[in-house]
Amino acid sequence: MARVDIIMPVRDGEAYIDEAVRSIMGQTERDWRLIVLNHASRDGTAAIVDGLCREDSRIETVAFGAEMTVSDVRNAGIALCDAPFTMLHDADDASLPERMTLQLALLEAQPGLVLAGGGYEIMDGNGARLSSRLLPSDPKRLSTAYLFSNPVAHPTVMLRTGAFKDLGLRYGRSELAVRYGIAPMELTNFAEDYLLFGQLAVLGLCGNVPVPILRYRRHAGATSVMNFDRQMLLSADISRHLMELVAAHHGVDWQDPVPFCNHGARLYRDTSPHDLAARWAAMEAILVVAFGDVPGVRRELAFRRVLATRNLPMTLARFARFLTRHAPDSDEAGTIRNIVKASLTRKPSMTAPSRHAPA
């Protein structure tokens, strides 16, 4: 048994699969097994992976049929893992050499965590560096932030295998909802990671390494690029569902988080901006009860307070005050830039379907 099992789903990934696998082979942590999940590839992926398997005995490959969804393949891959830790990896990204070492150190230093993610560098289809994204690392802040955005990057995730499996969670369905008698949310091919790891965040089980650990490839064929609007709407639904789980788990009232969300570093149009301040006051009070009046929670709420208006001068004034006490992370800075840009171009923001408190 290896110390870390890595699962790498791939479908028609001949362009980048060799680089992705070799980034695993170059890790400073050497005790690992890589399982490549070949999801009905029709190009040269299988031949490339077979060659890598011959080159390094720690690499294995398993074939899956086209009738399976992406969630099915990922769930099957995790079921194959028996190492103490399971690492996720996409077939078009490249891990930095210290990735495993840093994530193992975090999980061993904080035995209560089930998930460790991390920051990442963004590259284009040719591998040229574009920018970087740093994410919150404090578990309390992550639990709060998960209601409003996705603060864990899916391809950076490492899981504590046994604890994760004991919770009975899986891609595509919110199993935690069943525990509380809530109708489970089900997804097929989009935003499954946000729903899955948001359940861990509700339980306070997520952390992030505070430095980049991965090179994330952004290219025209990426799912997140081709389906941005659909993912924005799904993310709003997931935020509301996660709030249902928070209300049930912590015994607090449900409030709609969507007016204060910044999925994709963008705001949703609010149909009742005149009472946004009052709704934020109610939301803030509930989250302090749920997650505690602690530094990580206060830090996250401070930025959400900036977004509790749709008046541009007021937003910028609040953000200026915010900057006197806090350094903005990548998503926060990007959100403010997009608010200003949308105002200058008069580009309409997306409206999330309205929803009242669940029965």
pLDDT 10s digits, 22-67: 999 999 999 999 999 999 999 999 999 999 999 999 999 999 999 9
DSSP letter for 346, please.
Answer: T
Q: What are phi and psi of 115, to 5 degrees?
A: -130, 135
CB 70 within 8 A of CB 91: no
For residues 248 and 347, give the distance between their C-alpha atoms in angstroms, rounded to a whole number. 37
How much is the average pLDDT of 340-349?
A: 80
CA distances 37 to 10, 23, 81, Å, are 6, 17, 12
Tell me, what's the pLDDT at 32? 98
Tell me, what's the pLDDT at 45? 97
Tell me, what's the pLDDT at 222? 55
How much is the average pLDDT of 69-75?
A: 94
How much is the average pLDDT of 274-287?
A: 93
User: Where does the pLDDT of residue 221 fall: very low under 50, low under 70, confident under 90, or very high at 90 and above?
Assistant: low
pLDDT over 90 percentage in the chain = 84
DSSP letters, 73-130, are HHHHHHHH--SSEEEE--TT-EE-TTHHHHHHHHHHH-TT-SEEEEEEEEE-TTS-EE
> What H or E segment, with its residue span, contains residue 323?
helix 312-323
Tell me, what's the pLDDT at 18? 98
How much is the average pLDDT of 260-267?
A: 94
CA distances 299 to 136, 139, 143, 145, 278, Å, are 10, 12, 12, 10, 20
pLDDT over 70 percentage in the chain = 94
Q: What are phi and psi of 252, to 5 degrees?
A: -120, 170
Tell me, what's the pLDDT at 348? 64
* Closest by CA position to 78, among listed 13, 171, 150: 171
Tell me, what's the pLDDT at 230? 86
- Environment class of 262 (CB within 10 Å of its CB; exposed 0-12, middle 13-18, buried 19+): buried
Tell me, what's the pLDDT at 240? 96
User: Where does the pLDDT of residue 229 fall: very low under 50, low under 70, confident under 90, or very high at 90 and above?
Assistant: confident
Assess whether pLDDT exceeds 70 at residue 226. Answer: no
User: Where does the pLDDT of residue 228 fall: very low under 50, low under 70, confident under 90, or very high at 90 and above?
Assistant: confident
Q: The domain 4-235: what is its CATH number?
A: 3.90.550.10
- Helix, strand, coil distribution of the chain in percent, nearest 5: 45, 20, 35
Report the Cα–Cα distance between both ends of the chain, in Å, rounded: 47
Tell me, what's the pLDDT at 188? 80
Question: Exposure pattern of 301-321 as b/e (b: 16+ CB <10 Å)?
Answer: bbbbbbbbbbeeeebeebbee
pTM of the model as a whole = 0.93
Long-range pairs of 73-76 with CB within 8 A, sequence gap ≥ 24: 73/9, 73/37, 73/39, 74/7, 74/9, 74/37, 74/171, 74/192, 75/170, 75/171, 75/172, 76/37
Question: Looking at the chain, which residues constitute the CATH 3.90.550.10 domain(s)?
Answer: 4-235
The residue type of 267 is L
How much is the average pLDDT of 314-341?
A: 95
User: Where does the pLDDT of residue 271 fall: very low under 50, low under 70, confident under 90, or very high at 90 and above?
Assistant: confident
How much is the average pLDDT of 263-283?
A: 88
Mean pLDDT of the chain, nearest integer: 93
Q: What is the pLDDT of residues 81-91, one digit of tens each?
A: 999 999 999 99
Assess whether pLDDT exceeds 60 at residue 223. Answer: no
Question: Exposure pattern of 327-356 as b/e (b: 16+ CB <10 Å)?
Answer: eebbbbebbbebbeeeeeeeeeeeebeeee
CA distances 65 to 19, 166, 229, Å, are 24, 27, 28
Tell me, what's the pLDDT at 162? 97
Structure token digits, residue 256: 């709609």
How much is the average pLDDT of 323-339?
A: 94
How much is the average pLDDT of 284-296?
A: 97
Tell me, what's the pLDDT at 73? 96
Q: How far is CA 123 from the centre of its chain?
A: 18
* Closest by CA position to 318, among listed 309, 306, 328: 306
Tell me, what's the pLDDT at 355? 66
Q: What is the pLDDT of residues 94-137, one digit of tens each?
A: 999 999 999 999 999 999 999 999 999 999 888 888 889 989 99
